[in-house]
Amino acid sequence: MESIAPQERDEGALRWLKAIGRWFAADHAQLPAPERPDAVEWARIVPFILMHAACLGVVWVGVSPFALAVAATLYVVRMFAVTGFYHRYFSHRTFQASRPVQFVFGLLGATAVQRGPIWWAAHHRHHHAHSDRPEDPHSPLHRGFLTSHMGWFLTKGGFRPDLRRVRDLMQFPELRWLDRFDIAVPVALAVGLFLAGEWLEANRPALGTDGWQLLVWGFFVSTVVLYHATYTINSLCHVFGSRRYATRDQSRNNAWLALVTLGEGWHNNHHYYPTSVRQGFYWWEIDLTYYGLRLLALLGLVRRLKPIPLAVRDARPEARP
């Protein structure tokens, strides 16, 4: 058996150290274009797998109504931050917000462990430019279910966004910070949940919870469920559902996915007119994210929500499956 030269071993170790370092400081602007963009970034798969494995901790920590309530609340709040701000605000600019408001909701979105708002918006804008064509990194028609669902962001190309698409966001240093140190925010949430659980165990024992239980349910379980609910819009909403509009892609409306993603399941509507803040175009199409943004507008936190013009909504050649 041939031995590995010390120089090759050192170079291999250095590559792994750099890959691990990018978990903590992902400076996308400094990354060179990968030679093989579809190659799996193995070092990045490790924390993703560990997030899922940590959910098995429910066997040891047990469950309580309080822990379930925390998990459900964090799911809804973070899903709203992703759908309302990562998607409808940062990616499509469907409404306006002040700099402090955009940072606060960018911070909340970062707790969902879906990287920072600049990375997210850059990839999503690329998706709309090439939807369901070979250049689309998460098209189930060209890449298959697993890659479209989650495999695309575990690749070398998925790690490096095209920052030319998000020059409007790159002007904000606080958003660049969220992107570079995107792991800092979810780690802070996880630590906060553990400490809160420990305090509640000592001071509110009737709730039947503790630090480990809140960490497992409030962070790991809630986050992993949030992961896969979000991913279904890429993988399932281009395969299952109805097509009201004859878009150039295979985007579909799916009422069930609209419920679990607070309105994102009206995906054919969205691809037909992506600059509308409302994705459920008709009153019977439940769009909880839109209702939440309307509430924020009433409170004066956001403004100038862009609707879909009724003439555009109703003047359509219908598309069939």
Using 50 as the pLDDT threshold, list the residues of the chain that sit under it. Answer: 1-2
Kindly state whether residue 36 falls inside one of the protein's structural domains: no
- pLDDT at residue number 3: 52
Judge whether 314 and 304 are in contact, CB under 8 Å. Answer: no
- Give the pLDDT score at 205: 95
SS (H, E, C) the chain: CCCCCHHHHHHHHHHHHHHHHHHHCCCHHHCCCCCCCCCECHHHHHHHHHHHHHHHHHHHHCCCHHHHHHHHHHHHHHHHHHHHHHHHHHHCCCCEECHHHHHHHHHHHHCCCCCCHHHHHHHHHHHHHCCCCCCCCCCHHHHCHHHHHCHHHHEHHHHCCCHHHHHHHHCCHHHHHHHHCCCHHHHHHHHHHHHHHHHHHHHCHHHCCCHHHHHHHHHHHHHHHHHHHHHHHHHCCCCCCECCECCCCCCCECHHHHHHCCCCCEHHHHHHCCCCCCCCCCCCCCCHHHHHHHHHHHCCCEECCCCCCHHHHHCCCECCC
Contact 78, 226 (CB under 8 A): yes
Would you give the distance in Å from CA 252 to the centre of its chain?
Answer: 19
The confidence score (pLDDT) of residue 197 equals 98
- Which domain, by its residues, includes 93? 41-243
Would you say residue 90 lies in a domain?
yes
pLDDT tens digits along 127-186: 999 999 988 888 998 888 888 898 888 887 777 888 999 999 999 999 999 998 889 999
* Residue 1 confidence (pLDDT): 43
pLDDT of residue 102: 97
What is the reported pLDDT for 19?
A: 55
Domain presence at residue 137: yes
* Residue 192 located in a structural domain: yes
Q: What is the pLDDT of residue 43?
A: 73
- Alpha-carbon span 142 to 134, nearest angstrom: 6
CB 223 within 8 A of CB 51: yes
Residue 178 is assigned to a structural domain of this protein? yes
User: Can you give the pTM of this predicted structure?
Assistant: 0.89
- The total number of structural domains in the chain stands at 1
**Contact of 28 with 170, CB cutoff 8 Å:** no
Contact call for residues 125 and 87 (beta carbons, < 8 A): no
293 within domain boundaries: no
Residue 292 has what pLDDT? 98
Q: Specify if 76 maps to a domain.
A: yes
Whether the Cβ atoms of residue 47 and residue 154 lie closer than 8 Å to each other:
no
Assess if residue 308 is contained within a domain: no
